[in-house]
């Protein structure tokens, strides 16, 4: 485990003006992400060999686990970081700079001019990185998988070392693949998977998810919000546990009728009445207070008149009842709200604030709930880079799917694990899937499921994991290549949703398949609420049934809400999902119907929050 890291920026320029250091802060950010609990110290030194050596020796003697330098690895006469490092280390680790160079050569031939060094002094690992922020980001991605294990080896941490070795022996995370990249010209021209209708796909997901093994845990009631009760909970005491006053007034005997009453006592909430009331007596009571024995009604203050009080007006002695009371008037009897043995929480109930209040009022501090499956999210694609990288590399895009799907699942009450980005290489993809499956019950992948020569998810799942592909194509828009699979991994069934990489396809299919599956596992039902809506404008139909993103507004004197599509529904245009409260279930076009006219009534799945604060229509 990496506990302490030192990052040294070597640069004459940055030593004079710290604000010009970009590679050092980039290293800090990347190290924080991988080792969030580690202590990180940063310094900037000029390109002076003796000074670099001194700092390296000092930090090695301070029992620092890892020293990362950036800068001074080029061909300039002032670039002396490798020489200083070589003078300090006791053993080289030559494969680290070789691996960094090989990866960097994929980006630029200039990588051949870098002279990075890596080695060990005592129990400290020292690695030189180039001086540019871009090169730092690229190179640390290469060494990230081995840093923690290397530090554990140097620290003789046998527990962590053995765990990594066992993981490697089990094929995770480093895994070979049986999939061979075929010649492009010989690849499939048509998907081998049959096209399923949506109802068929839904039925398959529902039937397969029924095999999820239910697990139950007890959680404190203040942590049960949004969870699902796993067992019925019964009231172990009535509520209220005593006859209680509904109003501020006077507890009386109803058969006394109207007339003057002697005020025997005053009872406020939390008090215990001193003695039973006799005929001709009453007791002043507050709302929620217990009424004395003998009384069977409460007369509100407004129906009484003061007759006599003490000289200091502190105590009422007599009042007159002006309106004849009825038996049980304004009294909540024992168990009026909740009777003894009443069901407070049914198995399968979604726990909300009101239910938590009921359970707390009944004396329950913990509640048994269904354990949600662990979900992992993995993006695939050679074109993807992390959103936090400041500079967008040529021909790349920032990965938005992982954070979007993580937040989408959280919006519906489910947590997930971020498993990063996997490249479209069979072995790397297999390793990434193996690593993710070791952490989760349900794996959600995006990308790699279409018909390109680098769309490898289905063959990797089938050939390397023995997965059963339950379906690989669905007649829907967006999301035609959506895939659902299961496999046995480490003795347990794993459920895999391989979704298209286009952001809108990933968004819609996660709602329709992943959230649906999670609801099946936790809520005993998979269905979203449906409602009928009118179309605000004409809608051109696609040959496939379409799930169109829309918002609702509620005109006065209209029986049905009106739905407006959120602009262009292209599967790459995530703006069409932003703010969507419903998915319109549009039928596929037919010879007789290619357009649904304005005011047509269609079905809508309620998948998001309906924003009543914005009744205006969104502009197309």
Q: For position 211, what pLDDT does the model report?
A: 86
Q: For position 556, what pLDDT does the model report?
A: 82
Residue 442 near residue 374, CB atoms below 8 Å: yes
Mean pLDDT is lowest, of 12-26, 172-186, 325-339, for: 172-186
Cβ neighbours, 10 Å, residue 375: 24
What average pLDDT does the structure give for the chain? 89
* Integer Cα distance of 370 and 348 in angstroms: 9
List of long-range contacts for 456-460, beta carbons under 8 Å, 24+ apart: 456/179, 456/380, 456/424, 456/425, 456/426, 456/429, 457/380, 457/429, 457/483, 457/498, 458/193, 458/483, 458/485, 458/498, 459/179, 459/426, 460/177, 460/179, 460/426, 460/429, 460/430, 460/433
Mean pLDDT is lowest, of 192-196, 386-390, 595-599, for: 386-390
Q: What pairs with residue 602 in β-bridges? A: 533
**pLDDT tier for residue 464 given thresholds of 50, 70 and 90:** very high
Rounded average pLDDT over 11-38 = 90
Compute CA distances 350 → 454, 524, 525, whole Å: 42, 10, 11
Q: For position 172, what pLDDT does the model report?
A: 46
Residue 576 near residue 515, CB atoms below 8 Å: no
Residue 95 near residue 128, CB atoms below 8 Å: no
Q: Taking 90 as the threshold, does the pLDDT of residue 454 lie above it?
A: no
Cβ neighbours, 10 Å, residue 582: 26
Share of the chain above pLDDT 70, in %: 91
Share of the chain above pLDDT 90, in %: 70
Q: For position 171, what pLDDT does the model report?
A: 43
Q: Taking 90 as the threshold, does the pLDDT of residue 156 lie above it?
A: no
Q: Taking 90 as the threshold, does the pLDDT of residue 348 lie above it?
A: no
Q: Taking 90 as the threshold, does the pLDDT of residue 161 lie above it?
A: no
Secondary structure of residue 356 in the 3-state scheme:
helix
Q: Taking 50 as the threshold, does the pLDDT of residue 166 lie above it?
A: no
* Integer Cα distance of 514 and 176 in angstroms: 28
**pLDDT tier for residue 33 given thresholds of 50, 70 and 90:** confident
Q: Which domains does the chain have, with CATH numbers?
A: 4-167 (3.40.980.10), 216-238+338-370 (3.90.105.10), 244-332 (2.170.190.11), 375-522 (3.40.980.10), 530-606 (2.40.340.10)
Residue 267 near residue 276, CB atoms below 8 Å: no
> Could you say which DSSP state residue 113 is in?
G
Query: What would the pLDDT profile of 79-135 be if each residue is shown by its tens digit?
Result: 999 999 999 999 999 999 999 999 889 888 988 999 999 999 999 999 999 999 999
Q: What pairs with residue 261 in β-bridges? A: 319
> Could you say which DSSP state residue 513 is in?
I
- Record the pTM: 0.65
Mean pLDDT is lowest, of 148-157, 295-304, 575-584, 610-619, for: 610-619
* Integer Cα distance of 617 and 620 in angstroms: 9
Kindly write down the DSSP assignment for every residue of 143-201, as one continuous string: HHHHHHHHHHHHTT-HHHHHHHHHHHHTT-SS---S-----GGGS-SS-SSPPBPHHHH
* Integer Cα distance of 344 and 356 in angstroms: 10
Query: What would the pLDDT profile of 487-545 be if each residue is shown by its tens digit?
Result: 999 899 999 999 999 999 999 999 999 999 999 888 767 788 899 999 999 999 999 99
Using alpha carbons, select from 58, 68, 57, 59 the residue that is nearest to residue 35: 68
Query: Is residue 202 classed exposed, middle or buried when 0-12, 13-18 and 19+ CB atoms within 10 A define those classes?
Result: middle
Q: What pairs with residue 318 in β-bridges? A: 262, 308
More confident residue, 474 or 524: 474
Which pairing describes strands 601-606 and 582-586: parallel, antiparallel, or unpaired? Answer: antiparallel
Q: For position 187, what pLDDT does the model report?
A: 61
Who's near 223: CB < 8 A, 6+ residues apart?
none
Query: What would the pLDDT profile of 272-307 be if each residue is shown by its tens digit?
Result: 998 899 999 999 999 999 999 999 999 999 999 999
Q: For position 341, what pLDDT does the model report?
A: 95
């Amino acid at each position: 485990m990496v506990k302490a890291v030192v990052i040294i920026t070597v640069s004459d320029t940055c030593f004079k003006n710290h604000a010009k250091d970009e590679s050092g802060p980039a290293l800090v950010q990347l190290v924080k992400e991988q080792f969030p609990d580690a202590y990180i110290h940063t310094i900037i030194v000029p390109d002076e060999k003796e000074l670099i050596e001194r700092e390296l020796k000092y930090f090695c003697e301070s029992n620092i686990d890892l020293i990362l330098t950036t800068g001074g690895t080029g061909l300039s006469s002032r670039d002396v970081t490798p020489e200083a490092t070589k003078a300090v280390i006791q053993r080289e680790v030559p494969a680290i700079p070789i691996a960094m160079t090989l990866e960097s050569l994929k980006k630029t031939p200039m990588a051949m001019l870098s002279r990075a060094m890596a080695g060990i002094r005592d129990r400290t690992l020292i690695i030189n990185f180039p001086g540019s922020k871009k090169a730092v980001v690229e190179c640390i991605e290469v060494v990230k998988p081995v840093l923690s294990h290397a530090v554990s080896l140097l620290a003789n941490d046998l527990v962590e070392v053995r765990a990594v070795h066992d993981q490697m022996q089990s094929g995770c995370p480093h895994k070979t693949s049986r999939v061979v990249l075929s010649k492009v010209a010989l690849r499939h021209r048509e998907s081998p998977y049959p096209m399923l209708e949506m109802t068929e796909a839904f039925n398959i997901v529902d039937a397969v998810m029924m095999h999820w093994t239910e697990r139950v845990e007890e959680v404190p009631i203040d942590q049960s919000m949004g969870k699902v009760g796993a067992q019925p909970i019964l009231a172990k005491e009535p509520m209220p546990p005593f006859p209680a006053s509904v109003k501020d007034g006077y507890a009386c005997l109803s058969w006394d009728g109207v007339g003057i009453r002697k005020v025997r006592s005053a009872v406020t909430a939390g008090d215990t009445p001193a003695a039973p009331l006799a005929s001709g007596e009453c007791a002043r009571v507050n709302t929620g207070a217990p009424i004395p024995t003998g009384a069977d009604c409460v007369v509100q203050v407004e129906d009484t008149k003061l007759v006599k009080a003490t000289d200091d007006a502190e105590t009422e002695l007599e009042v007159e009842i002006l309106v004849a009371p009825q038996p049980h008037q304004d009294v909540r009897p024992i168990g009026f709200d909740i009777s003894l043995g009443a069901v407070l929480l049914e198995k399968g109930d979604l726990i909300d604030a009101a239910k938590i209040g009921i359970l707390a009022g009944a004396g329950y501090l913990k509640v048994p709930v269904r354990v949600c499956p662990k979900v992992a999210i993995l993006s695939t694609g050679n074109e993807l880079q992390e959103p936090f990288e400041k500079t967008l590399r040529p021909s790349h895009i920032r990965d938005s799917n992982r954070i979007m799907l993580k937040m989408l699942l959280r919006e519906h009450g489910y947590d997930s694990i971020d498993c990063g980005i996997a490249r479209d290489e069979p072995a790397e993809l297999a390793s990434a899937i193996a690593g993710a499956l070791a952490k989760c019950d349900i794996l959600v992948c995006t990308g790699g499921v279409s018909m390109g020569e680098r769309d490898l998810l289905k063959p990797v799942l089938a050939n390397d994991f023995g997965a059963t592909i339950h379906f690989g194509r669905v007649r829907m828009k967006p999301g035609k290549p959506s895939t659902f699979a299961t496999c046995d991994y480490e003795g347990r069934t794993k459920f895999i949703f391989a979704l298209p990489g286009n952001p809108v396809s990933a968004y819609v299919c996660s709602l329709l398949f992943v959230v649906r599956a999670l609801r099946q596992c936790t809520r005993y039902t998979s269905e979203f609420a449906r409602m009928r809506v009118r179309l605000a404008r004409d809608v051109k139909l696609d040959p496939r049934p379409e799930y169109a993103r829309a918002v609702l507004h509620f005109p006065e004197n209209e029986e049905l809400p009106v739905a407006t599509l959120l602009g262009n529904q292209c599967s790459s245009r995530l703006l069409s999902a932003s703010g969507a409260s419903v998915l319109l279930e549009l039928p596929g076009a037919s010879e007789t119907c290619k357009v649904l006219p304005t005011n047509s009534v269609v079905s809508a799945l309620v998948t998001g929050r309906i924003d009543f604060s914005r009744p205006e229509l969104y502009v197309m």
